[in-house]
Amino acid sequence: MTPAATVAAGGISLLSALFTATSSLSVTGLVVLDTGQDFTFFGQLVILGLIQAGGLGVLLLTTLLAMVVAGKAGLKLRQSAATETKSSGIGGIKPMVLRIVGLTVATELTIASALFLRFYCYYDKPVGEAVWNAIFHAISAFNNAGFGLESDSLTRYVTDPLICGPIAVAVILGGLGYPALIELLRRYKTPLKWSMTTRAVVVITPVLLVGGTVFVAVIEWTNPDTLGQLPWWGKIQAASFQSTITRTAGFNSIDIAQLHPATWFGMDILMFIGGGPAGTAGGIKITTFIVVGAMAWAEISGARSVTLLGRRVSRSVHRQAATVIALALGLIVVSTMIIMLDAPHLRFDRTLFEVVSAFGTVGLSTGITAELPPVSQIVTMILGRLGPVTVASSLALRDRPIRHELPKERPLIG
């Protein structure tokens, strides 16, 4: 809110500042102001700092700071970091934190270097501007935030593979999740020893990326307002990029507002699924999606247990996956209804897209963000970043011992 952060005299309103800060920290990317035009360099720096903190995870960041200051972390703080990063071991928290920070910085620097060369050598941007654009987009992409410095996001670079390519790679790497990334780096030669989480992410991610590319390309191929005016290779590149971005990044190289309603709905599904666990992506996570799919298949096929990628899935995981789905759908339904009551003039498909984008911390918009109730969007972004199970668990406070069990009875289902 400080005047130094924005171009407009006197700063911006509390609600606009809160919305921007929430969208940055939750690495969503929804905006009510133009990041490149309405914010000064200082304001952009604040946004970028929030994106980096949100991507690393606030608990992880506080753990790192505690280690730096005190040289060690208390058991409770270490347990919090283990939960934040889905780490099962308590003793190795410090190396894990340092690996995650190192991986983040190394990836962002690599992507920023590639973008700088393109901005400076091909688009003739001044050195300082090229450096800042490269750093900002690299951090925003790896943290799946989707904030950009151009008013049209990346639509001017729709056919430039040396801009869209590195950003898409950063989005995919950030969306895989830290556990999968670290295991891939440490055990890339022994895939048979990968954990179920890593195998699920590695198998399903390409399926969703390719499936999303084909889906967008087929529907939008002749749409003159999106892919229709591009050469055939540009159409494939744009469709691939937009499929990648629905994994919770928020950039767009084509006009989202001009997409076919069926494309919006398909992207709703991809945004709802999101990326890998304990990463910078949002959504219910790939592992939740594949576990629920395995549960459905086991029930349909009459299997005695739920199996996934050659392993039996614990019953507690069944309940957790079902809970995540139920809470996520409940949050989306309630948020959509609140917005429809407050803004009945908006189309349902656009409203639903906006809500799923906020829940999945994606940041894609059909252009109606400024017309929506900011408070409901802020709450949806926060809950989407924290995760439904995290919110429910925090309400429970502690485990309750089982003192008695009720008799069983089977209700009719379906």
pLDDT the model gives residue 90? 43
172-198 pLDDT, tens per residue?
Answer: 998 888 778 888 888 888 888 888 888
Q: How confident is the model at residue 116 (pLDDT cuts 50, 70, 90)?
A: very high
The answer to whether residue 122 scores a pLDDT higher than 90 is yes
User: Which range (117-126, 261-270, 286-295, 364-373) has the least confidence?
Assistant: 364-373
Q: How confident is the model at residue 241 (pLDDT cuts 50, 70, 90)?
A: very high
Q: What is the mean pLDDT of residues 195-215?
A: 93
Q: How confident is the model at residue 265 (pLDDT cuts 50, 70, 90)?
A: very high
Q: What is the mean pLDDT of residues 197-222?
A: 94
d(CA 46, CA 52): 10
d(CA 19, CA 39): 14
Judged on CB neighbours under 10 Å (0-12, 13-18, 19+), 359 is buried
Share of the chain above pLDDT 70, in %: 87
pLDDT the model gives residue 75? 55
359-378 pLDDT, tens per residue?
Answer: 988 989 998 887 887 777 78
Query: What are the angstrom distances between the C-alpha of 342 and each of 149, 332, 356, 373, 392?
Result: 31, 15, 17, 7, 27
Query: What are the angstrom distances between the C-alpha of 302 and each of 28, 299, 305, 306, 312?
Result: 40, 5, 9, 10, 15
Q: What is the mean pLDDT of residues 26-38?
A: 90
- Higher-confidence position of 160 and 66: 160
128-148 pLDDT, tens per residue?
Answer: 999 999 999 999 999 988 899
Work out the mean pLDDT of the chain and round it to a whole number: 86
| Helix orientation angle between 127-142 and 41-56, rounded to the nearest 10 degrees | 30
Do the Cβ atoms of 232 and 222 come closer than 8 Å? no
Judged on CB neighbours under 10 Å (0-12, 13-18, 19+), 148 is buried
